[in-house]
A and B are shown apart, each in its own frame.
Chain A
Amino acid sequence: MEEGARAEELQVQRCRARLDRLAAASAGDDAEWEDIRLKRILVDYMLRMSYYDTATKLAETSGIQDLVDIDVFLDAKRVIDSLRNKEIAPALAWCAENKSRLKKSKSKLEFLLRLQEFVELVKAKNFLQAISYARKYLAPWGSTHMKELQRVTATLVFRSSTNCAQYKVLFEQNQWDSLVDQFKQEFYKLYGMTLEPLLNIYLQAGLTALKTPFCFEGNCPKEDPLSLDGFRKLAEPLPFSKQHHSKLVCHITKELMDTENPPLVLPNGYVYSTKALDEMAKKNGGKIICPRTGEECNYTELVKAYIS
């Protein structure tokens, strides 16, 4: 009972830490808050890819243990490892633990696990055992999943080394892998997590927003993530983002030219920000030299441009 109380306390502490964090989120760009968010997303990714060691280390060094669910994933790890070892028992135990929830979401995980156990018995040529197993455990699922049940029970007739494609598939080793995937999906659904890692979701959204045709030209500034190969590759299947309003970036200062820092036009047609040209004039006694063409002119010859 004390253990139960302790477990509840832990969950309360976690919830509170997350609420506090959300309350602390400021509207603007708070670099530290965003940094912790990034670390949280990375830990989530690592846990899903089973890099438990790195995930724990990262969580510890950043002090975000309350914001990530490492022990929940470690629970799942036990089941996944056992499935990879071709043991059904822990997975079935997990199903029993979460029976009501799984039933609500109409999950057929337990059914698939039982099917696999049946096929294993057939593989080992324990036909009688297989049949009694089927009678005990597979029959209750017959009403909802009859077709699949029939397909799998037909394996009784075939040898495990059969070449008949339909049934060969059922004897394959990678059935276990698909079981692992199925388990993972149920697991994520149960805990209200997204099926894909948070990292992928955020990266996709960000890449789409940042992707413009200009990124692929030669002189893409290094500040743009899409100047890097890795990011370009990831962004390939994603659509470009559409611009509805002009956004001008000064060639000299790399800053945005807006109403506070309006664009100025040189006689040769090249455009730079007021800030940049003011400074240049100050340093050169009123003379302006276009950085891209080398042409010279006077500060007084500059014209203001109004771009909406």
Chain B
Amino acid sequence: TLKDEFDHVVKKQKLASSRTIDLVNQIEKEIEQAIGAIQENGTDRDAASNLNHEILTNLKNTLKELVPVKQLESCQKEMNTALGKWVKTTEKFFINDISKAYKNVDMEPHVLNEIIANHLYREALFDIGDNFLGEASCLASIKLKQLFQEMYEIFGALRTEKSEPALSWAMKNHDALLQNDSCLELKLHQLQFVEILKQGKRDEALQYARTYLAPFATIHKDVIQKLIASILWAGRLDQSPYTEFLVPTNWEKLAEEFAQQFCNLKGQSSTGPMGMTVAAGAEVLPILLKLMTVLTAKREWHSMKEFPFPLDLRRDFQFHSVFICPVLREQGSDDNPPMLLPCGHVLSKQSTVKLSKSSSRSFKCPYCPFEALASECKRLYI
């Protein structure tokens, strides 16, 4: 496997470098020894020079025996072969050039930079976002930045188990949250309520319930009933039948819920658009690259209005309903809407007209033996 090959290369590399260092150290030692010996011989010229000559010849012989150059060469060669093999394996394993799937059209830098800046703000990387704006010298929406700063303040507070900022935000947006069917506000009030109960302050709890929990009485009747009843056990909730309120809150989940509602109310998508597009791109790229080998000329892709092959994305990326008639393979429209046959199968209007040939004869559904008249088909609104 890939990892094994890589480990092999690393081993060779370590071997090569350690051998090199060892060899050089050895040579250094020999030379130092020789220098030391020469120095010991003193400065007496004739005797010294003979001894020195001997020492030098010895040194030369020892060094020759070590065959340093050859050893180094062989180590290096081993490492290089391993490296070359590794490169070949990676080339086989991975697709080398993903730009083959790229249509050479200009992406306007300032549009792109704006999108990037907005994305950085959305990910709470405010400093980096500002830095980016400076370097890229582009503008970004200040409103957006402030929006997300507000969101992350409350988000951060929730994650550190402080629910006050979230509560005040939720109360401010009471109506909108109700419209979205969100029980976020109730959950936050519930937290406060339970805290008061834990401290045994019965009257305060009752007062709190009257002011804040009452508006939710009709919608979330059963929860409110339980909460009010638990006032009787103020201070000793663990002995009550309502120990469920003592379960420690999942603050992370609460923070996520808050973020989602916040984005929803402010007209933002709950996942960043850039993240979504890149993830969609990553999913589709393998298919595109395969197709590039099939399309004979790249020009074909350039001039197309519609991509000729289906690019299927996973569930999270489906935002629009589309009906494709299984018979004619055409997209549904106002002129050619989907029609429900009495058997439960759905065809486009044109298909039903074609199959029945005249409006008084019945036709057989292509999927089951059921017969139907064109007039019995109901128009569907998806």
Chain A residues with CB under 8 Å of chain B are 1-2, 4-5, 8, 12, 15-16, 19, 23, 29, 34-35, 37-38, 41-42, 45-46, 49-51, 53-54, 57-58, 61, 192, 194-196, 198-210, 212, 214-215, 220-225, 227-228, 230-231, 233-234, 237-249, 256, 265, 268-271, 292, 303-308
Nearest CB in chain A: distance from B56 CB, A = 26
A203–B283 touching, CB < 8 Å? no
Nearest CB in chain A: distance from B96 CB, A = 7
CA A278 to CA B21, docked complex, whole Å: 75
Which chain B residues in 58-110 approach chain A with CB under 8 Å?
Answer: 96-99, 101-103, 105, 107-109
A194–B99 touching, CB < 8 Å? yes
A265–B269 touching, CB < 8 Å? no
A19–B3 touching, CB < 8 Å? yes
Which chain B residues in 240-287 approach chain A with CB under 8 Å?
Answer: 267-271, 273-285
B101–A54 touching, CB < 8 Å? no
- Given A192-B96, A237-B105: A206 and B321 interface contact (C-beta under 8 Å): no
> From B137, which residue of chain A is reached at the shortest CB distance?
A51
B98–A204 touching, CB < 8 Å? no
- Given A203-B281, A205-B285, A210-B277: A305 and B108 interface contact (C-beta under 8 Å): no
CA A247 to CA B321, docked complex, whole Å: 6
Which 6 A-B residue pairs are closest in the complex by CB-CB distance? A206-B281, A225-B273, A205-B281, A202-B281, A206-B277, A206-B280
Nearest CB in chain A: distance from B139 CB, A = 12
B284–A248 touching, CB < 8 Å? no
> From B329, which residue of chain A is reached at the shortest CB distance?
A244
A303–B344 touching, CB < 8 Å? yes
A200–B310 touching, CB < 8 Å? no
Q: Of the listed stretches B126-134, B183-191, B201-209, B228-236, name the one at the interface; the rest are far from the partner chain.
A: B126-134
A231 contacts which chain B residues (CB < 8 A)?
115, 273, 277
A5–B17 touching, CB < 8 Å? yes
Interface string of B329-368 (1 = CB under 8 A from A): 1010000001010001110000000000000000000010
CA A85 to CA B299, docked complex, whole Å: 39
- Given A1-B20, A208-B284, A256-B315: A54 and B322 interface contact (C-beta under 8 Å): no
B42 within 8 A of A: no
Which chain B residues in 281-329 approach chain A with CB under 8 Å?
Answer: 281-285, 288, 301, 304-311, 313-324, 326, 329
B6–A57 touching, CB < 8 Å? no
Nearest CB in chain B: distance from A48 CB, A = 11
- Given A214-B322, A270-B381, A306-B367: A222 and B311 interface contact (C-beta under 8 Å): no
- Given pairs A249-B318, A265-B378, 17 additional interface contacts (CB within 8 A): A51-B132, A57-B131, A200-B102, A209-B317, A227-B269, A230-B111, A230-B114, A231-B273, A233-B111, A234-B111, A239-B305, A243-B331, A244-B310, A246-B324, A247-B320, A270-B381, A303-B340
B319–A249 touching, CB < 8 Å? yes
CA A221 to CA B378, docked complex, whole Å: 27
B159 within 8 A of A: no
B98–A201 touching, CB < 8 Å? yes
